[in-house]
Amino acid sequence: MLSPLNMAHYWLKEIIEPDDIVIDATMGNGFDTIFLAQLTKKVYSFDVQEAAIVSTQEKLVENKLEAQLILDGHENVDKYVDKNVKAAIFNLGYLPKSDKSIITKAPTTLAALRKILAMMKKGSRLAIMVYYGHVGGSEEKTSVENFVENLEQKEYQVMKYGAMNQKNTPPFLIMIEKLK
Ligand SMILES: C[S@@+](CC[C@H](N)C(=O)[O-])C[C@H]1O[C@@H](n2cnc3c(N)ncnc32)[C@H](O)[C@@H]1O
């Protein structure tokens, strides 16, 4: 079976076409940016850490791919992209092997989700990988779950995918599709 992250990629790949505008809201080490850049040239990637930009830029060069890397919070997404977003991905939490105090937080995550959903067109998809084992993670998880549970069902399909029998706090996927 696919892991939640691989499932996120599978569901995004199904709909992304070569000229689509897509967003990696949490660039980190760039694995999602590379995945998206293989599918379209119009990738906007956000992170608040310079280290994320450096690491992702190296991977893009190695792989001969393109993406616009933005050193800014995803809550400011509307300064860089204004419409026609086809897909987006969030990986919540902290950057592995890095400063664990720099984490995504509910107020900025929800601000970014609201803005990106408003820019998405019919048939677009947004993936949220929820990692919540760290300090502050369960508050963000609860806020994000409350937010997506209250999305209007005529406008959005919201699915959840994750392990049921793993110990500790296994990450899970929330996938949103815009219906109109
Ligand atoms: C779990 S990591 C992302 C992993 C990444 N997708 C990868 O492939 O390596 C979460 C990232 O979100 C970043 N982050 C935290 N707050 C942010 C914000 N407001 N806007 C954008 N990125 C943020 C962190 O710096 C961290 O790199």
- Ligand 1 near 140 CB (within 6 A): no
Any ligand 1 atom below 6 A from CB of 48: yes
- pLDDT the model gives residue 29: 95
Structure tokens at 76: 């400011």
Side chain identity at 101, as an amino acid letter? S
Q: Best substitution site from 33, 38, 47 to test ligand 1's pocket, by max atoms within 8 Å of Cβ? A: 47
32's CB contacts (< 8 A; 6+ apart) are 9, 24, 26, 45, 89, 91
Return the closest-CA partner of residue 88 out of 158, 171, 21: 21
Pairing of strands 120-130, 172-178: antiparallel
Q: Is the pLDDT of residue 99 over 90?
A: no
- Does 169 have pLDDT greater than 90? yes
- Span 38-55, pLDDT tens digits: 999 999 999 999 999 999
- Ligand 1 atom with the smallest distance to the CA of 109 is 19
Q: Which whole number is the average pLDDT over 28-33? A: 97
* Whether the Cβ atoms of residue 26 and residue 55 lie closer than 8 Å to each other: no
Residue in the structure block whose two tokens are 């793993």? 166
The type of residue at 143 is: S
Distance 177 CA to ligand 1 centre (A): 22
In degrees, to the nearest 5, what angle opens at C-alpha 123 toward C-alphas 119 and 128? Answer: 70
Q: How far is the CA of 6 from the centre of ligand 1 (A)?
A: 18
Distance 30 CA to ligand 1 centre (A): 9
* pLDDT on residue 64: 98
Mutate to test the pocket of ligand 1, among 6, 26, 129 (most ligand atoms within 8 A of CB): 26
Q: Could you read off the pLDDT of 8-24 as tens digits, one per residue?
A: 999 999 999 999 999 99
- Number of Cβ atoms within 10 Å of the Cβ of 178: 19
Residue nearest to ligand 1 atom 2, measured at CA: 95
- Give the separation between CA 113 and CA 26, rounded to whole angstroms: 12
Q: Is 90 exceeded by the pLDDT of residue 159? A: yes
Percent of the residues in the chain that have a pLDDT greater than 90, as a whole number: 95
> What's the topology of domain 4-178?
Rossmann fold (3.40.50)
Q: Which band of pLDDT confidence, cut at 50, 70 and 90, is reported for residue 100?
A: confident
Spatial separation of the C-alpha atoms in residues 101 and 87, rounded to whole Å? 28
Cα-flanking dihedrals φ and ψ of residue 148, to 5°?
A: -70, -30
Residue range 115-126: mean pLDDT, rounded? 97
CA of 27 to the centre of ligand 1 (A): 5
Q: Residue 97 — very low, low, confident or very high, per pLDDT cuts 50/70/90? A: confident
Look at ligand 1, atom 23, and give the residue with the nearest C-alpha.
Answer: 47
| pLDDT for residue 126 | 98
Q: φ and ψ at 39, to 5 degrees?
A: -105, -30
pLDDT given at position 96: 85
Look over the chain and give the mean of its residue pLDDT values, rounded to a whole number. 97
Q: How many helices (H) and strands (E) does the chain have?
A: 5, 7
